[in-house]
Amino acid sequence: MSTFQAPKGTYDLLPPESAAFLAVRDALAAPLRTSGYGYIETPGFENVELFARGVGESTDIVTKEMYAFETKGGDRIALRPEGTAGTLRATLEANLHRQGNLPVKLWYSGSYYRYEAPQKGRYRHFSQIGAEAIGTEDPALDAELILLADRAYRSLGLRGFRILLNSLGDQECRPLYREALQTFLRGLDLDEETLRRAEINPLRVLDDKRADVRRQLTGAPLLQDYLCAACKTYHEEVRALLTAEDVAFEDDPKLVRGLDYYTRTTFEFVHDGLGAQSAVGGGGRYDGLSEMIGGPSLPSVGWALGVDRTVLALEAEGITLDLPPATSVFAVPLGDEARRVLFTKVNELRRAGVAADFSYGGKGLKGAMKNAHRSGARYALVAGERDLVEGVVQLKDMESGEQTAVALDRITAEVTSRL
């Protein structure tokens, strides 16, 4: 062990488990790639103001959880805590929204950083797959995104998740609700900090997990009773489209997300096998974000799915992904001449698409066969001097132990026909 360890709240992804992580990432992104979403990559850090203005000055993410610092050049930078603000910033900067094809549909995959109190499922460095559809107000777009996430989770075999759905209203109806909620909260027996939060961001108080606060919140006014006609119609249409596609969801009038940019549709995918950190993904509409960061009006909707938590959800459901073997054939050369010949054969197999590895370091038969077993390969290719004189190698089935002599120029054909 070295003097150093992975920083608190982080972990290393190592083989063989890392293969499942990669497969989850691919599966979560797969439905997007065939639904018109183009891949975008933005920097891992941005101007800190982008998040302060975008995610919101009163959110925990901005006030407590950002890795923010000043560079030697005097720039105020933050490691990205999420992907939406950066994606929209990049879209505006490149004028993607002016190229006549709205919505601009983008997907991304990457690392995000939040200085949170670490616990199972909550890390300071984590991975998301995200999707954003920028510049169009259409309930079918909201429904499309929810459908694609549902399909992604299902493609992995997950069944124990639920979709929570809510509408947070718009700039017309939300202020009225905000006022009603504030009046209600002012009448409760709350501590100083919660009262302060009620003044800055009263909706966040609805998300308080403490039992004594929750008890007092029964009877709080609900946003759904304050939605304006346009928001109500919009929300009903999203619900109807999901129902028509047989996607089960639960109306959750108290669903509040931890980011301030949301308007209208908001949703969360929660998994019941994960304990406190149950949200495997979440998102919603953010019609005002572009203006908040200096752009034109661009109503948009998106989501991000947590890769780490999706892996935990698979574990919770006891699902093992059916992954292709890391190594199908392991070559065991005995002697220098065999090393040269088998090295060529391994490269030939790889070119033919067979996952193949090689015993390096001039090991003897016993040590090399141990490596072959550890690699999980289905077949070993063993060759010694006598085999080469006869122009063959021994193809050993690692499961049955059965061994067959195969002519050197027939190896790739024989292996591919067997696999």
Annotated binding-site residue numbers? 82-84, 114, 128, 132, 257, 261-262
Among 31, 299, 302, 333, binds ligand HAM (CB under 6 A): 302
Cβ atoms within 10 A of the Cβ of 56, count?
A: 21
Percent helix, percent strand, percent coil in the chain, to nearest 5: 40, 20, 40
Among 123, 161, 234, 358, binds ligand HAM (CB under 6 A): 123
Stretch of 121-129, 214-222, 244-252, 392-400 contacting ligand HAM, by CB under 6 A? 121-129
HSE-up of residue 199 (Cα within 13 Å, Cβ side) = 6
Question: For residue 242, how far is the Cα from the chain centroid?
Answer: 22
Q: For 5-115, list the strands marked E by DSSP.
A: 38-39, 45-47, 68-70, 76-79, 104-113
Among 234, 303, 358, 379, binds ligand HAM (CB under 6 A): 303
- Is residue 82 a contact point for ligand HAM (CB under 6 A)? yes
Question: Which string of DSSP letters, residue by residue, matches 49-81?
Answer: HHHHHHT-TTSHHHHTS--EEE-TTS-EEEE-S
Compute the distance between CA of residue 249 and CA of residue 126 in angstroms, rounded to an integer: 26
Closest CB to ligand HAM among residues 10, 327: 10
Give the residue numbers of the binding site for L-histidine.
82-84, 114, 128, 132, 257, 261-262
Angstrom CA distances, 123 to 5, 190, 260, stand at 15, 30, 21
- Is residue 169 a contact point for ligand HAM (CB under 6 A)? no
Closest CB to ligand HAM among residues 300, 412: 300
- Is residue 333 a contact point for ligand HAM (CB under 6 A)? no
Among 306, 342, 345, 387, binds ligand HAM (CB under 6 A): 306
**Measured at CB, which residue is nearest to ligand HAM?**
306
Compute the distance between CA of residue 118 and CA of residue 262 in angstroms, rounded to an integer: 26
Stretch of 27-35, 120-128, 173-181, 341-349 contacting ligand HAM, by CB under 6 A? 120-128
Quick one: tokens of 32? 């997007």
Where along the sequence are the contacts to ligand HAM (CB under 6 A)?
Answer: 82-84, 114, 116, 121-123, 126, 128, 130, 132, 258-259, 279-284, 286, 302-304, 306, 308-309
